[in-house]
Amino acid sequence: MINFGGGGICNFQCCYCIASAKNKPKLQNGLDFVQVFSAYNQAGMLSEDIHVQFNSGEIGVHPKRAEMFHALGDATVSVLTNSSVYVPEIAEKLRYGDAIVNTSLDAGTRGTFRRVKGTDAWERVCDNLRRYAAIRKSSIVLKYIFLPGINDTPAEIDGFLQICKETAGAVQLSSEIYHPERITGATRRAFQYMRESLEQEGILYRISAGAFSDRK
């Protein structure tokens, strides 16, 4: 697995984001992503067994996006994307089973989405997820970060579940890992409601690191 942080280039302003805009869109050792992967590709070293993850930034708005995907050849990509932009290169990878799309929605309604993401893009994001899911739903992971007092109500979870049923192969649940002390009884009840609902719907889920990870 090779991780590539997108240098903080992003069109959202999530309330929990720590991506740094000071980073440059380069590999950590200062080498250029496109040059390095083009060289690997030309040497026949990239296959679907090579796994590259785009994270920490939005690849959909990266100025070198097309070149970067082209340089990756047949490598498998795991894309942490906000899905505000429909990316043809991701769609193409999905068609061949060489991509996993991971989008953190953290909301089930337009208003809460805007509050968490700093952008009024709920409809656009849901539409793009539907387009990706139409290609390969099993490769779409939707994430929900529980934010106390913001998205821990049954209405938010019901809205999130609806889009999960339409578009998600799996779900990832997390608490707000930087401030676990803020979790309330309402947040824990919402978390339990989410789990029970996912199980009722038969949707696969996993609990990632955070205050919920050791709780049934």
Residues 36-65 touching ligand SF4, rule: CB under 6 A, are 57-58
Q: What span, in angstroms and rounded, lies between the C-alpha atoms of 199 and 195?
A: 6
Q: Can you say whether the dihedral through the CA atoms of 110, 115, 116, 121 is positive or negative?
A: positive
Single-letter amino acid, residue 163: I
Of 12, 40, 86, 193, which lies in the binding site for ligand SF4, with binding defined by CB under 6 A?
A: 12
Contact with ligand SF4 (CB under 6 A) among 82, 83, 128, 187: 82
Which region among 9-17, 166-174, 175-183, 188-196 touches ligand SF4 (by CB under 6 A)?
Answer: 9-17
Residues 6+ apart with CB under 8 A from 87: 59, 60, 65, 79, 81
Residue 151 as a binder of ligand SF4 (CB under 6 A): the answer is no
Counting contacts by CB under 6 A, is residue 86 touching ligand SF4?
no
**Segment interacting with ligand SF4 (CB under 6 A) among 5-13, 25-33, 127-135, 150-158:** 5-13
- Window contacting ligand SF4 (CB under 6 A); options: 11-19, 60-68, 89-97, 159-167: 11-19
Q: Exposed, middle or buried: residue 132 (CB in 10 Å: 0-12, 13-18, 19+)?
A: buried
Q: Answer whether 31's CB lies under 8 Å from 83's CB.
A: no
Q: How far is the CB of 22 from ligand SF4 (least distance, A)?
A: 13
Q: If binding is defined by CB under 6 A, does position 7 make contact with ligand SF4?
A: no
What's the token pair of residue 4?
């590539």
